[in-house]
Amino acid sequence: MFHPRRTPRRTPGRTPRLATRRTIKALLLPLAAGLALTALPATSAQAASTLTNGGFEADGSGAAVPNGWSEYGSTAASYVEAGGHGGSYRLSHYSASAYKVETYQYLSGLTNGNYKLTAWVRSGGGQNSAYIALKNCGSSEQRTDLPVSASGWIRIVVPIAVTNNQCTISINSDANAGNWINVDDLTFASGTGGVPVKGADISSLVKSEAKGGVYKTSSGTTSDALTILKNSGMNYARVKVWVNPADGYSNKARVLAIAKRIKAQGMKLLVDFHYSDTWADPGAQSKPAAWAGHSYSQLKTDVYNHTYDVLNALKAQGTTADMVQVGNEINGGMLWSEGSTDNWSQLAGLLNSGYDAVKAVNSGTTVALHLAKGGDLSGTRWWFDSAVSNGVKFDVIGLSYYGYWHGSLYDFQTTLDDAASRYGKPVYVAETAYPFRLDSEDSHENIIDLSSELVSGYPASTAGQSAWFRDILNIVEAVPNGRGLGVFYWEATWTAVTGNGWDPTDASSGNGWENQALFGYDEKALPAMTWFSHR
């Protein structure tokens, strides 16, 4: 995480949506208020054992009802038009008036088992709901909402267990006037979905509690923050470790204490080594004071010994780390200047010292390398190409992705997918977050506090925060070949508590992050937290 400076957001390139629209000749027939688009016939004339016309190429532009598909509701709002993802055409939902429409296809004669629908989508946002569902399959209906992406196509998946030899593929819009979606290149095949890691960074929690921080369930019952998070579905906790921080928090002793609580909740543990006494990120990778003036050779030993010491102590108390980050947002390297990316052979030596220490304590612990700028394809390629060519050892790739700084969702998916395929490694989001409001609870200016800083289609509201977390999880789930490991929401518990500010050297410093935590200004768990339980 960039700290504590406000970092300018790179404005992602946007191209206007194709203006071509089929001339709607039929009058819009709106559904009665509250009518849900769920009623489907038991059978359909389009019933088939395989998906028909998943690319919407069979009819050409202007088809009111695509071949192989059926429609329900405001049917004039569903049609085929030019401008496909892989071919010439796509399905669109659009109307100049409010509408509810479902475009669906019924499949029968399926062999029971696990299936996964894959689709490429775009959306201008603003709908009450816009999603693709698999239903009437014998198991619980599964849905994936369309992320807001007005130009770049985004891949999403919907997994399902078919237990009754049939399934209905359903594309739904409950939309306001002028809202639109595009859908194309659907495939339905054997496969599974979900992500194994649904985590959060809770590094601020111990200090918050010591300074009087309180956490409540969504109904207002005061409880342990970890219990609330676990009951919401969180299964992995990330904690940073500094070498000798001025405030005495996020050090070895504090990490050992919180690790016991994390493991007692049945969660897994990710330890994030900053190799500093304070924040390490792309703008700052300062050495710990105790290592100042050490030679490069000694720094390699320092990294090994510190990493081994913390992890071995965790193992000795029965809380072995499940994953370790050797460095935090190390785009420019670490332990500057010796470990700068200006000297890749030396940086490789430092990273491998950390890797070797992790494996010496426990060979089964996963070692991650973590970069910021999760939408920077060229920068991510350059860094990991350099790491590989210099013999750096690692198991998985972590990327920070904040949509207000790191490019569009299209940029993010492109970078994440490329990293997974190019290096043959699982990938995860090491950090993401989004504001549920813009005003500050304390006197410190929030890092994101202007509407101009927000991602288009995601308001600073509890609904906007929920949609952001949901869509990031869905994009990671869609990484090909099952390489999407999961997501960590950054600093879920960092609420505004006097004394728990961003600067470990200044007890009066404030918190610029409370409007992006997963607990509100009333200390209650926010709706976004429920997405830990998603698949």
Q: What is the dihedral of CA 129, 518, 479, 55, to 10 degrees?
A: 10
* C-alpha count within 13 angstroms, C-beta hemisphere, residue 310: 33
Task: Assess contact for 197 and 428: CB atoms under 8 A.
Answer: yes
Catalytic residue among 431, 477, 491, 514: 431
- Which of 392, 342, 400 shows the shortest CA–CA distance to 371? 400
Task: Assess contact for 158 and 116: CB atoms under 8 A.
Answer: yes
The amino acid at 479: V
Catalytic residue among 329, 338, 477, 491: 329
Q: Is 246 exposed, middle or buried (0-12, 13-18, 19+ CB in 10 A)?
A: middle
The amino acid at 375: G
Query: What do you get for the CA distance between the two ends of the chain, in Å?
Result: 27
Q: Which residues pair with 468 in a beta bridge?
A: none
The answer for residues whose C-beta is within 8 angstroms of residue 83's C-beta and 6 or more apart is 18, 20, 89, 90, 182
DSSP track, 379-420:
HHHHHHHHHHHTT---SEEEEE--TTTB--HHHHHHHHHHHH
Q: Number of helices (H) and strands (E) in the chain: give both, helices first.
A: 8, 18
477 an active-site residue? Answer: no
Which 3 state secondary structure label does DSSP give 227? helix
- Which of 487, 433, 434, 493 shows the shortest CA–CA distance to 229? 493
431 an active-site residue? Answer: yes
Q: Which residues are designated catalytic? A: 329, 431
